[in-house]
Amino acid sequence: MKLELGKIQINDVQKASESKVEANTLYINEEDIKKIVLEDEHIVNVSIEIAKPGDSTRITPVKDIIEPRYKVDSNSNVFPGVISKVDRVGEGRTHALKGCAVATVGKIVGFQEGIVDMQGPGAELTPFSQTINICLVVEPVEGIKAHTYEQAVREAGLKVALFLGKLGENVEPDEVETYETKPLLEQIAEYPDLPKVGYVYMLQTQGLLHDTYVYGTDAKHIVPSILYPTEVMDGAILSGNCVSACDKNTTYHHLNNPVIQDLYDRHGKDINFVGVIITNEAVYLNDKKRSSDWTSKLCKYLGLDGAIVTQEGFGNPDTDLIMNTKKIEAEGVKTVIVTDEYAGRDGASQSLADADPAADAVVTGGNANEVIVLPKLDNLIGTYDYVDTIAGGFDGSLRENGEIEVEIQAITGATNELGFNKQSARGV
């Protein structure tokens, strides 16, 4: 598959009487957005607020973050199986509005939702302090069930992101990048002397409110499968989970997966990037065994020399991570795992819930139990009602003076296990 990604840089977002993209500015008519969101009977009200880098603004609780994208030359479109038809994506031309994002905010869905600060020490830990965030502050109907509310909020964010992406349909991109992965035998023949590298992409599927969607299918119900990397860029994988904010893969993370980007950057130079294997993070042991067996089998089937394995979440998924790694290594395929740590506030505890000598090449996104004090900021988008109860918070996290003391797991993207963050560690 070959995908052209047209990148339209958005330098400012303003509310206006007409929704459009002009001179690298995104103009938004609030009524256009409200009409889209309020189509869902489970949502009674929505307000649209804009947070810009450097603002004295805090956004919480953040549910999902999505980059606006739109396919410009196809009957299919991004976010297939959820917002768009269940058509194959990953080829043709897609336009992306870079530098901005849609964030869904409001009454909490699950306790594992997060904080985004646009300035201060918290801003240094989240990539979303650097995007202009179009925040949808959503109010659900009374008595709504958590899972129904999660779906309504998730779909609202995707619909708005698709609407905004379409505004760039006829805009000339500032940059166009081309990504291509050929059918396997062609791909191998093109670079026969380079090591064949694949990407094992673990998806969060631990249970209720821990969902990831693949072409609209809950990934709890899949067996490990092969995707073209470009399919991911078109929204074939979408977030629907409430895993701790620090290592949650939002939809924005999936669309901009840095592992895929880096492997493409090195493709044809020192590696041959042959594709993506998606697998789930099951709850029950037999399901973990099945998925890890299939994952290692596919690595061997593709003839890989090496594989990068990324995780989402912690604790229970650590077992999936190690089972995958151990079995892939047993097939003669070298692995590097990307994870984060829950090593206690002093960093002295065991970092992962599972381990094996085969998992001896590790990239870490940092220790999620590290404590930070976030200063009082002038503006709030959302509500402070849940700061003490979100993952990483505790009774008394919200201080009377407006400061917040939390573990960094409360900060969206702080220890992201795709490496989409600024923290890591080095063995000594």
Catalogue the active-site residues.
242
Residues 315, 237 contacting (CB under 8 angstroms):
no
* CA dihedral of 214, 215, 216, 218, whole degrees rounded to 10: -20
Q: How far apart are CA 294 and CA 315, in angstroms?
A: 22
Q: How far apart are CA 36 and CA 159, in angstroms?
A: 7
User: What is the arrangement of strands in the sheet containing 69-71, beginning at the earlier edge strand?
Assistant: 69-71, 92-98, 2-9, 175-180
